[in-house]
């Protein structure tokens, strides 16, 4: 098997999921359970699921649109398989390593931004390119997930994954390219799939990664930026302005976090290993060291 084969850490337990992906799993699953098991309840004479779709799904401009829907529609799904594809195939398979590299705050901003751009693409372009689509709410995290998939494929284009029913692993860049081409070909066809939202999220994901890397650079730029956050933490020059942080007050003088030299050497080696073989190649001990160092800096 290729050394470039990628398998996210799923069977290690839900506790190993990075915080944002764990939160997204819980919120999306909770919203699905609410609409599935309580959707038939009536609210002011209307079924609860209809009320939730109208006020929290993404409605077209002039037909019940509210600004908050650009966020809330990302946490609603039309069915189990819709939820399953987005959470398992998309977010779990491609998002785990992206969040581990970027950190929780950056990944969450990226995820929500892709969803907002996807929603705007659906609202503005659908009347032009997909006028046959019925007026109704758009729901689902697909736009955000497409952004995550494109980000992963841009950062690690030659990673290999298994895609059912193919018996051999396929490079991520080809899988994502295939999905995008299929989305483009499906625009304007009748159906309940928001292809323009998918494409908008994919474009947002690509632009974000390219901008974040300062151009069409190599993968090493991403890891170099992450590595710099650790190496500079214990070497802050005195007298210079640094990022503001909130510290617990003990003796009236805030003490910035530091990392011991021996631990720093271990972290450098771990980050080099990630850049060569990916996060999934780390041992449990190496993951623990990285996690503890990250907590200390934040």
Structure tokens at 282: 């780390």
Whether the per-residue pLDDT at 197 is higher than 80: the answer is: yes
State the pLDDT at residue 58: 92
Per cent of the chain over pLDDT 90 is 32
Measure Cα distances from 133 to 63, 138, 159 in Å.
14, 11, 36
Task: Give 95-105 pLDDT, tens digit per residue.
Answer: 998 999 999 99
State the pLDDT at residue 276: 66
> Distance (Å, rounded) from C-alpha 99 to C-alpha 86?
16
Q: Which residue has the tokens 């609603």?
A: 76
Task: Give 10-64 pLDDT, tens digit per residue.
Answer: 545 666 788 999 999 999 999 999 888 887 777 777 778 888 888 999 999 888 8
Measure Cα distances from 258 to 231, 263, 293 in Å.
10, 10, 9
Measure Cα distances from 1 to 4, 29, 34, 214, 267 in Å.
8, 34, 42, 34, 28
Residue 46's φ and ψ, nearest 5 degrees, are -115, 145
Task: Give 100-150 pLDDT, tens digit per residue.
Answer: 999 999 999 999 999 999 999 999 988 888 776 667 889 999 999 999 999
Q: How many CB atoms are located within 10 Å of the residue 48 CB? A: 16
State the pLDDT at residue 282: 74
Whether the per-residue pLDDT at 280 is higher than 70: the answer is: no
State the pLDDT at residue 243: 39
CATH number of 14-212: 1.20.1540.10
- Nearest C-alpha neighbor of 5 from the set 158, 166, 188, 215: 158
State the pLDDT at residue 188: 67
State the pLDDT at residue 28: 95
State the pLDDT at residue 234: 44
Whether the per-residue pLDDT at 173 is higher than 80: the answer is: yes
Structure tokens at 264: 């720093």
Over residues 62-80, mean pLDDT: 92
Q: pTM, whole model, 2 decimals?
A: 0.69
Confidence of residue 74 (pLDDT cuts 50, 70, 90): very high
State the pLDDT at residue 220: 45
What residues does each domain of the chain span? 14-212, 220-237+248-297
> Distance (Å, rounded) from C-alpha 255 to C-alpha 257?
6
Residue 102's φ and ψ, nearest 5 degrees, are -80, -30
Task: Give 237-254 pLDDT, tens digit per residue.
Answer: 444 443 343 433 344 445
Check: CB of residue 205 under 8 Å from CB of residue 153. Answer: no
């Amino acid at each position: 098997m290729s050394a470039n084969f990628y398998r996210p850490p799923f069977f290690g337990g839900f506790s190993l999921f990075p915080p944002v992906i764990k939160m997204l799993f819980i919120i999306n699953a909770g919203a699905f359970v609410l609409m599935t098991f309580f959707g038939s309840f009536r609210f002011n004479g209307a079924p609860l699921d209809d009320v939730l779709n109208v006020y929290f799904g993404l409605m077209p401009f002039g037909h019940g649109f509210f600004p908050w829907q650009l966020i809330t529609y990302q946490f609603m799904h039309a069915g189990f398989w819709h939820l399953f594809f987005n959470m398992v195939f998309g977010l779990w398979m491609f998002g785990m390593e992206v969040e581990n590299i970027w950190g929780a705050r950056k990944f969450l901003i990226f995820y929500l931004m892709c969803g907002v751009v996807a929603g705007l693409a659906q609202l503005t372009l659908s009347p032009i390119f997909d006028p046959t689509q019925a007026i109704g709410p758009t729901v689902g995290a697909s736009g955000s997930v497409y952004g995550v998939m494109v980000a992963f494929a841009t950062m690690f284009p030659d990673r290999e994954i298994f895609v059912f029913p193919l018996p051999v692993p396929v490079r991520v860049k080809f899988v994502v390219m295939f999905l995008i081409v299929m989305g483009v070909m499906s625009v304007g066809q009748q159906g309940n799939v928001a292809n323009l939202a998918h494409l908008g999220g994919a474009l947002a994901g690509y632009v974000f990664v390219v901008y974040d890397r300062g151009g069409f650079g190599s993968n090493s730029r991403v890891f170099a930026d992450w590595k710099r956050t650790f190496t500079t933490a214990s070497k802050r020059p005195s007298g210079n302005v640094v990022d503001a942080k909130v510290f617990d007050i003990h003796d009236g003088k805030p003490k910035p976090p530091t990392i011991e030299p021996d631990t720093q050497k271990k972290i450098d080696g771990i980050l080099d290993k990630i850049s060569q073989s990916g996060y999934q190649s780390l041992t449990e001990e190496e993951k623990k060291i990285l996690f503890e160092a990250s907590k200390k800096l934040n």
